Amino acid sequence: MSQYLLSSLIFTPIAAALFVLFIPNEAKKTFRIVTLAISAIQLGLLIFIIHQTKDSTFSSFLLTEKANWFSIDLGTWGVLQAEYFVGIDGLSFSMVTLTVLIMLIAGISSWTIDKNVKGYFILLWILNGAIVGTFVALDFLLFYLFFEFMLLPMYFLIGIWGGPKREYASIKFLLYTIFGSILILIVLIALYLSVQNPDVQDRVVHTFNLIHMTDAANYITGSILNPDKGWMIGAHSARWWAFVLLFIGFAIKLPAVPLHTWLPDAHVEAPTPISVILAALLLKVGAYGLLRIAYPIFPDIATSLSWFVALIGVISIIYGALNALASKDLKRLIAYSSVSHMGFVLLGLASVTTEGVSGAVYQMFSHGIISALLFLIAGVLYDRTQDRMINNYSGLSSKMPMYFTIALIGFFASLGLPGFSGFIAEIMILLGAFRSFSANGLIHESFAIVATAGLILGAAYFLWALQRMFFGPFYIKSEIKPSQLVDLDKREYSMLLPLVLLILVFGIFPQILLDYINPFAQHFTDSVLNAVRTIQNP
Amino acid sequence: MFPVEHILYLSALLFSVGLMIIIIKQNAIMVLLGIELLLNAANLNLVAFNQLQPQTFTGQMFALFVIVVAVCEAAVGLAIVLRVYKYYQTSILSEISELKE
Amino acid sequence: MEKLITIEILTGAALLTPLISFLLCLLIPVRFSWVVTIVAPILLLISTSISIYLFVVVPNNTSLLISIEWFHVAQYSFNGNVEINRLSILMMPLVTMISFLVHLYSIGYMVGDNGTKRYFAMLGFFTFSMLGIVLSDNLLMIFIFWELVGFSSYMLIGHWIEKPASASAAKKAFIFNRIGDAGFLIGIMIVWANTQTFDLQEILHMSEIYSWQTAASLCIFCGVIGKSAQFPLFTWLPDAMEGPTPVSALIHAATMVAAGVFLLSRVFPLFTDASLQVVAVVGAATALLAALSALNQFDIKKILAYSTISQLGLMVTAVGVGSANAAMLHLTTHAFFKACLFLGAGSVIYALQIANRQTENFDVQDIRNLGGLRKKLPTTFFTFIIAAASLAGIPFFSGFISKDSIITSIWYWSGNTFSWRWLLLVAIFVVSFITVLYTFRMVWFIFFGKEKQSASAVTEPPWILRVPLLILASASVWFFIAWSPFNPSGWFTTLIGGLPDSILVTSISGGLVLLAFVTAWFVYTYKKTQIKSLRILQNGFDLDIAYQKLVGQSTVQLATVAETVDRKWIDGFIHVAAYAQVSVAHVVLWFDKYIIDSSVNAVAWLAGVAGSFTRSFQAGKIQLYIFWAVAGLIIFLFFILI
């Protein structure tokens, strides 16, 4: 049983999508129940995984699953082989947990959808499976497959169920991400041609296995990406180019400035549950790709370009915050705050210190739940009034006191108040980034110092929005009727309160998650730094 | 005895005139007449060439045969022309172009 | 051993009761919100009693560490250690007691307010966080609670949600604190990069002085500048007076703003000589500027706010000159008399608001509208004047002793030979002179002079407002601190440590205070000078306008620029790229349509023409067929034969 745990996690929602093809479109209740059932099954599986692995030593993977996917003999060209290879370690675990939680919340939030419900939920479940698959895949081809598999449901979910400018937003989203995907695909092919399977001795068997790709010994002599004598393209080695392509590809997803402009539009136009998934999960795929693929496979280049990664991170932090300050649309503000917060992930990652990397992963998790909360908050207002302009509201706290309380918690959590999960993540990232210079010399201390300005700006834009929307005398734009402004209902509580609780729990008891993240972070930093050493002095 | 060539010249002349009539004349009956001329030209040739083998009468035999066939053909042809005339109220060939398309 | 365990439990209880109060206040449903006004003060009373018990029971030189690991990353632990030492044992009763009195006071003051639940919840939360700062043995934990008090301050300043001014004051306070905290955070990062620990036990007991300590301590001092409203970040504090007056008393006078001074004393060993000099100069500059501003305010609460800034400046200077103990003494006395002054001001405001509810709206906080209230509000007047005397540093009051020890330390620090340090000493003397002036001015215009129209229907506020005043006022007299009114030795010195003492300085400062008193009397009472103010001083040297112009507007401009970059340049680039692609596609489409398609069409047309040409041979005319057949035959023969 336990060897199929991960597969069941991935394929439960996809199977459900196939199953409901036979259910008529009108049976709205069925879709809701199936959504809840999927999440319940996934949660159960997750708890089972936690239970199964609680004694494991955590050195690398808690669980793996491997099967031959296809293997085609190409004669003198070797063997074309891909595996169905999935596994879960601390990083995957936290991301999968996040996915399951957010999908549950997004499922509940999707109850208000009434346009072509069946199509919507089928796409949602395919997305669910694809995201989980992306987070557990250990075969590059499989990863890429799931990675691409996420885009289309997302494209349709924004393009069909979105707001007024949905076509523009969805096309922009698709073009950006497809562009990134192509860059990743190029590297995928180059890597495939360069790496051989060490398990087969007598002949050359190419492999997509991500674990094999991290080991410099598996690179075929004279191949494109060989760490010792790889090809040169222009002034730089092919490995340099490969890392840069991967970085751009994943930075688009992250999103890092200046590749971020799809995000605000996509968020503004997407329906609330899709915004939640987009911010909480899809952005994490970019960071996950950097942590799982770009850094471990190209440690030599990654560390030499760490300053660049950190620079992009700091620019994202400041630039995102400034843009948030200038936003007039609540969702746009939150979207830019996401850019700012994901910049912290880059900074932590670039430091390659245990606390920095732990902080980066923690930030991925924490931003997942916080941004989900924020987008739900924006959605609550939008559901009532179809208006998200900050200036059209004032003094809402008197009409909607509970909504005010939740929004207050969400905003303060996002600006990094201690006690909420975001603080733990950001402080660890800053500590790691600052210590990096003395610990491994990768990035300069000034990056961390400049990044603290992001915290000040974060306070500025959130408090400014809070002040204008909730404080002051009650006022709303004349098109809105005050009767529309009713306080939260039960369904909304059932989404918001668990998130608030999670944010608090992970802010006060970080060890719960750090138990999973720590071994990964340590393994990651050790292996990256060791690999650099072996490549430089073989 | 006339030399063969002279008879051949005559038959060629006859043939040419018949052909001319077939091609130029509008009336179906005149065309049939032209055909008769062609056949006669052929008969003339048959008879003329028989001169070269005087002990046989194959040429004459053929000529007779052709005359019989020509009679039958003329009868059939005239019948068709009659039917055509009844149907189209004309015997002018260019007006009866149903074979086209 | 057993006793130590009880101490641990009691400390935990004292720390957590305010938190329980916070949670209870949140959980109690709105229709029972009156319960809050009973439960919260009772819980605080419990916390106060425990703290006082600990204060009495715990031996003076205890340093008891309760180790709690919060979380760990790799081999590094992030601890939540609690340390009970002389400073925390002093601060705990101070914080809880003032908090309790403010709770008590608030029952009366906040009557009829519909946000009582939130109000008491945040008071409880504030007390908890403040105790957290006091008890933590870990720089990171201090930072966490430091931010949390900022949050409760935000909530309490903005308590009257519907007042636009309070919302912007709350925001300003939080952001200014954040600016300071960013510096604090950098300090924390420096400490981390060099020691990989936050435990003060380890950081403060290092064998040698490292060069990074200057940078680290200055960065930590940035946090103090923010929280304790020092120059140049002090302007948030006068604005914070938009909050309810008891809050101003608790947070913006007695405890939270003093947390900066506490932190300085706590991490004092980390400071190097160079950084201490910066601390001293910043403190003295703040004290002087704020004192001048206080002299030019009309709003009671603003006068008190600037006076608080000025007094905090004095404490910071004391730390800067190396006498953290004097700073702590002044912190203690200041907490009581300033809380008393604020609560007194609160009861004046309360009484006037109750009395003038019917009449037209006028600003009850403006001292120009007040006067002659001493007969109407005897208790308030009595307590206010005691606390004011203490603030002014009149002998026989606690403020005199503490201010005197600060001046004495600066005196010793400035040395016998002339140096820039003398300037600082002079500045401090000027500050203590001006302090008397503005205190006299405030008291005179509120309580003495002609009774104004506004005072006609005023009656003394209920006892629940007066009792805290009396308690606080009694703590402002000298015997609360020391045996002798001119010498600081008493329970404080045995607990915290020795203080510098000099008869010469004591007499000089005493004389100065008397001189100032006479001057003030001469100016305000004898000459009956009209109340005036310099606009620039009233606005706190226009620092706010400068910030607005320099920082605020430039940030907003930067944000606009960033937005433009985003919309015009990045998106513009994307659009141009997309349009370029689309245009290329159009060109290709045109090419496809007109070149490729039309060439295909041309071929087809040619075939058609040829077809119709050849078809013309087959017109259905049998004669024509024959003609062509014959013609063909002739041509054929022609070719064959020739």
C600 and B CB contact within 8 Å: no
Pick the more confident residue, C156 or C478. C156
Cβ separation of C621 and B101 shorter than 8 Å? no
Q: CA A349 → CA A242, A287, A291, A430, C140, distances in Å?
A: 18, 9, 8, 11, 22
With a CB cutoff of 8 Å and minimum separation 6, the contacts of C259 are: C130, C133, C146, C149, C227, C228
Distance from CA of B71 to the nearest CA of C (A): 22
Considering only the beta carbons, identify the residue of C72, C167, C190 that sits closest to A467.
C167
Confidence (pLDDT) at A244 = 92
Distance from CA of A90 to the nearest CA of C (A): 13
Chain B residues contacting C, CB < 8 Å? 19, 22-24, 31, 93-94, 97-101
Residue length of chain C = 642
Pick the more confident residue, A28 or C333. C333
Q: Taking CB atoms and an 8 Å cutoff, what residues of chain C touch B19?
A: 626, 630
Long-range CB contacts (within 8 A, 24+) of C107-112: C107/C37, C107/C41, C107/C464, C108/C350, C108/C461, C108/C462, C108/C464, C108/C465, C109/C244, C109/C245, C109/C246, C109/C346, C109/C350, C109/C465, C110/C37, C110/C244, C110/C246
Give strand ranges (E) for C119-219. none
CB atoms within 10 A of CB C491: 14
Cβ separation of C627 and B97 shorter than 8 Å? no
Confidence (pLDDT) at C38 = 85
Residue B100 has pLDDT above 70, yes or no: no
Among candidate residues A385, A384, A348, A351, the one with its CA nearest the CA of residue A363: A348
List, in sequence order, every residue forming a beta bridge with C199; answer none if it has no partner.
Answer: C138
Cβ separation of B22 and C626 shorter than 8 Å? yes
Among candidate residues A186, A204, A184, the one with its CA nearest the CA of residue A195: A204
Cβ separation of C620 and B99 shorter than 8 Å? yes
Considering only the beta carbons, identify the residue of A323, A457, A518 that sits closest to C74.
A518
Considering only the beta carbons, identify the residue of C166, C562, C578 that sits closest to A326.
C562
Among candidate residues C393, C495, C498, the one with its CA nearest the CA of residue C94: C495
Q: Taking CB atoms and an 8 Å cutoff, what residues of chain C touch B15?
A: none
Rounded to the nearest integer, the mean pLDDT of chain C is 84
Mutate to test the interface with A, among C26, C161, C222 (most CBs of A within 10 A): C161
Distance from CA of A466 to the nearest CA of C (A): 9
Backbone angles phi, psi at A499, to 5 degrees: -65, -45
As a dihedral over the C-alpha atoms of residue A368, residue A373, residue A376, residue A378, rounded to 10 degrees, the angle is: -110
Residue A363 has pLDDT above 90, yes or no: yes
Backbone angles phi, psi at A81, to 5 degrees: -130, 135
Distance from CA of C599 to the nearest CA of B (A): 30
Determine the 3-state secondary structure of A153 from DSSP: helix
Cβ separation of C145 and A423 shorter than 8 Å? no
Residues 619 through 638 of chain C touching chain B, CB cutoff 8 Å = 619-623, 626-627, 630
Confidence (pLDDT) at A370 = 93
Residue A174 has pLDDT above 80, yes or no: yes
Distance from CA of C631 to the nearest CA of B (A): 11
Distance from CA of C624 to the nearest CA of B (A): 7
Residue A465 has pLDDT above 80, yes or no: yes
Instruction: Work out the pLDDT band at A366, boundaries 50, 70, 90.
Output: very high
Q: Taking CB atoms and an 8 Å cutoff, what residues of chain A touch C562?
A: 319, 322-323, 325-326
Cβ separation of C164 and A323 shorter than 8 Å? no
- pLDDT by residue (tens digit) across C142-153? 999 999 998 999
Cβ separation of B23 and C619 shorter than 8 Å? no
**Mean per-residue pLDDT for A52-65?**
72
Q: How far apart are CA A191 and CA A239, in angstroms?
A: 9
Cβ separation of B22 and C618 shorter than 8 Å? no
Confidence (pLDDT) at B101 = 43
Cβ separation of A261 and C574 shorter than 8 Å? yes
Q: How far apart are CA C485 and CA C478, in angstroms?
A: 5
Q: How many CB pairs lie under 8 A apart between chains A and C? A: 146
Give strand ranges (E) for C85-195. none
Pairing of strands A236-237, A232-233: antiparallel
Distance from CA of A71 to the nearest CA of C (A): 39
Query: Is 0.85 exceeded by the ipTM?
Result: yes
Cβ separation of C162 and A518 shorter than 8 Å? no
Percent of chain C exceeding pLDDT 90 equals 3
**Mean per-residue pLDDT for C520-535?**
73
- pLDDT by residue (tens digit) across B16-64? 999 888 888 888 888 888 888 988 898 888 888 888 887 888 888 888 9
Confidence (pLDDT) at A371 = 93
Among candidate residues A117, A322, A69, the one with its CA nearest the CA of residue C556: A322
Pick the more confident residue, A201 or A329. A329
Percent of chain A exceeding pLDDT 90 equals 24
The residue of chain C nearest to residue A168, with distances taken between CA atoms, is C575
**Mean per-residue pLDDT for C256-282?**
88
Mutate to test the interface with B, among C623, C628, C630, C633 (most CBs of B within 10 A): C623
Mutate to test the interface with C, among B17, B21, B23 (most CBs of C within 10 A): B23
Percent of chain C exceeding pLDDT 70 equals 95
Rounded to the nearest integer, the mean pLDDT of chain A is 86
Backbone angles phi, psi at C435, to 5 degrees: -55, -45
- pLDDT by residue (tens digit) across A254-298? 888 888 888 888 888 888 899 999 989 999 999 999 999 988 888
- pLDDT by residue (tens digit) across A202-256? 777 888 888 888 888 888 877 777 777 777 777 888 888 889 999 999 999 888 8
Sign of the C-alpha dihedral computed for residues A20, A24, A30 and A31 taken in this order? positive
Pairing of strands C82-84, C76-79: unpaired
Cβ separation of C555 and A457 shorter than 8 Å? yes
Looking at residue C69, the DSSP 8-state letter turns out to be E
Pick the more confident residue, A217 or C316. C316
The residue of chain A nearest to residue C80, with distances taken between CA atoms, is A508
Do A and B touch (≥3 CB pairs < 8 Å)?
no
Pick the more confident residue, C367 or C304. C304
Instruction: Work out the pLDDT band at C620, boundaries 50, 70, 90.
Output: low
Determine the 3-state secondary structure of C78 from DSSP: strand
Q: How far apart are CA C28 and CA C307, in angstroms?
A: 38
Side-chain half-sphere CA neighbours of C416 within 13 A: 0
Residue C453 has pLDDT above 50, yes or no: yes
The residue of chain C nearest to residue A261, with distances taken between CA atoms, is C571
Looking at residue A475, the DSSP 8-state letter turns out to be E
The single residue listed with the structure tokens 């001319």 is B20
Q: How far apart are CA A9 and CA C90, in angstroms?
A: 57
- pLDDT by residue (tens digit) across A128-148? 999 999 999 988 999 999 998
Query: Are the C-beta atoms of residues A61 and A88 closer than 8 Å to each other?
Result: yes
Instruction: Work out the pLDDT band at C1, boundaries 50, 70, 90.
Output: very low
Cβ separation of B23 and C618 shorter than 8 Å? no
Cβ separation of A434 and C163 shorter than 8 Å? no
**Mean per-residue pLDDT for C41-54?**
88
Instruction: Work out the pLDDT band at C617, boundaries 50, 70, 90.
Output: low
Query: Are the C-beta atoms of residues A289 and A183 closer than 8 Å to each other?
Result: no
3-state helix, strand, coil in chain A (%, to 5): 75, 5, 20
Q: Taking CB atoms and an 8 Å cutoff, what residues of chain A touch C138?
A: none
**Mean per-residue pLDDT for C289-298?**
86
Q: Taking CB atoms and an 8 Å cutoff, what residues of chain C touch A474?
A: 162
Confidence (pLDDT) at A374 = 93
Among candidate residues C9, C45, C44, the one with its CA nearest the CA of residue C124: C44
Residue B99 has pLDDT above 60, yes or no: no
Residue C134 has pLDDT above 70, yes or no: yes
Query: Are the C-beta atoms of residues A94 and A88 closer than 8 Å to each other?
Result: no
Query: Are the C-beta atoms of residues C196 and A354 closer than 8 Å to each other?
Result: no
Q: Taking CB atoms and an 8 Å cutoff, what residues of chain C touch B98?
A: 620
Confidence (pLDDT) at A247 = 92
The residue of chain C nearest to residue A524, with distances taken between CA atoms, is C74
Cβ separation of C620 and B22 shorter than 8 Å? no
Confidence (pLDDT) at C358 = 62
As a dihedral over the C-alpha atoms of residue A32, residue A34, residue A35, residue A41, rounded to 10 degrees, the angle is: 150
Q: Which range, C61-75, C106-120, C124-138, is most confident?
A: C124-138
Confidence (pLDDT) at B97 = 63
Considering only the beta carbons, identify the residue of C73, C164, C574 that sits closest to A472.
C164
Instruction: Work out the pLDDT band at A56, boundaries 50, 70, 90.
Output: low
Planar angle of CA A43, A49, A55, nearest 5 degrees: 145
Minimum mean pLDDT range among A174-188, A266-280, C606-620: C606-620
Percent of chain A exceeding pLDDT 70 equals 98
The single residue listed with the structure tokens 């990654």 is A302
Query: Are the C-beta atoms of residues C286 and C312 closer than 8 Å to each other?
Result: yes
Cβ separation of B99 and C630 shorter than 8 Å? no
**Mean per-residue pLDDT for A368-375?**
93
Distance from CA of C149 to the nearest CA of A (A): 10
Backbone angles phi, psi at C112, to 5 degrees: 85, -5
C447's tokens: 């309580």
User: Looking at this protein, which amino acid is placed at residue C122?
Assistant: M
Mutate to test the interface with C, among A171, A261, A338 (most CBs of C within 10 A): A261
In chain B, alpha helices (H): 4-24, 28-50, 58-88
Confidence (pLDDT) at B98 = 59
Pick the more confident residue, C609 or C34. C609
